[in-house]
Amino acid sequence: MSAFWQAKRVVVTGGAGFLGSFVVEKLREQGCHDVFVPRRRDFDLRERHQVIRLYETARPHLVIHLAAVVGGIGANRQHPGQFFYDNALMGIQMIEYARRYDVEKFVCIGTVCSYPKFTPVPFKEDDLWNGYPEETNAPYGLAKKMLLVQLQAYRQEYGFQGIYLIPVNLYGPRDNFDLETSHVIPALIRKCVQARQSGQSHITAWGTGRPTREFLYVEDAAEAIVRAAEVYEKAEPVNLGSGEEISIRDLVMLIKELVGYEGEIIWDESKPDGQPRRTLDTSRAWREFGWRARTSLREGLRRTIQWYLDHQS
């Protein structure tokens, strides 16, 4: 419990979603009794008058902006315009009206997709502007990165208190397991589980399996966001990651093992690999607000697979 949160009114956009639901839980665990979660059917954050109505209704002291239009490589390739427009517009308007309504602090969640395609590994926050993002998700990554520019400009001109956090790829219970729109871990879990249950001899995975990724368990990410919201005050962005780098090929084999699927993996090399390597330097998060990830990839995958088995339709 934290005295900081007990008197705060907090808006969590995207608070009914995957990451947001865990952030809301963590806030309540810390003693925040007044959390407002705007639902899209009631507040379309792309519409200026609805953003204004949100601030008029909730009158928050603090905003945690998690709402985003997201997806895997396939969804990003299919909807680059939508992903750019929706994410930029929602964030720009939420920040602008937070300023106008004298919000004490704005916490903006960015994306690892904002980093340049060939960023030296591990990615350091100071490398964020040293090149163009990987093409398959550049529109989404750039839309989110513009919100960092906005927050830093508003801090400079208006003294607006906004912070920007960059989580690596998230996974965990309550994730999106739709094969058309999901990210790599839930898609692979679903494929392996369904193949095991139906006795399929093989499953198909995208690309070559050579790229590496880092994954952060969703509860660890939620803890980091709530901690940073309370204590971090600076303009510089902060990476949130686990420090575990794994190739997609090894990830597939690990999920296959944990699911108990014994079939073959066929790699469809006509599909894009995405960024060659992706892992973060998270030393700033430890230095600035004392946070480190606690959940290993194996343990996080085990929990995620169990959740999917318990909730599959």
Of 90, 103, 30, 95, the C-alpha closest to 61 is 103
Reading the block at residue 208, the tokens are 């070559």
pLDDT at 55 over 90: yes
Catalytic position from the list 140, 217, 232, 261: 140
For the segment 25-31, the average pLDDT, to the nearest whole number, is: 97
Residue 178 has pLDDT above 80, yes or no: yes
> Is the distance from CB of 260 to CB of 196 less than 8 angstroms?
yes
Task: Check residue 74 and give its pLDDT.
Answer: 73
Catalytic site includes residue 140 = yes
What pLDDT sits at residue 288?
Answer: 98
pLDDT at residue 181 tops 90: no
How many whole angstroms separate alpha carbon 107 and alpha carbon 134?
A: 25
252-262 mean pLDDT: 97
Give the per-residue pLDDT at 274. Answer: 81
Q: State which fold the 3-175+215-244+279-294 domain adopts.
A: Rossmann fold (3.40.50)
Residue 215 to residue 228: CA distance in whole angstroms: 19
Average pLDDT score over residue span 2-8: 93
Mean pLDDT, the chain, whole residue set: 95
Please state the domain extents for the chain.
3-175+215-244+279-294
* Beta bridge partner(s), residue 36: 11
Cβ neighbours for 231, distance < 8 A, ≥ 6 positions apart: 289
Whether the pLDDT of residue 286 is over 80: the answer is: yes
Calculate mean pLDDT across residues 131-150: 95
pLDDT digits (tens, 9 = 90+) for 188-225: 999 999 999 999 999 999 899 999 999 999 999 999 99
- Of 24-28, 64-68, 76-80, the least confident: 76-80
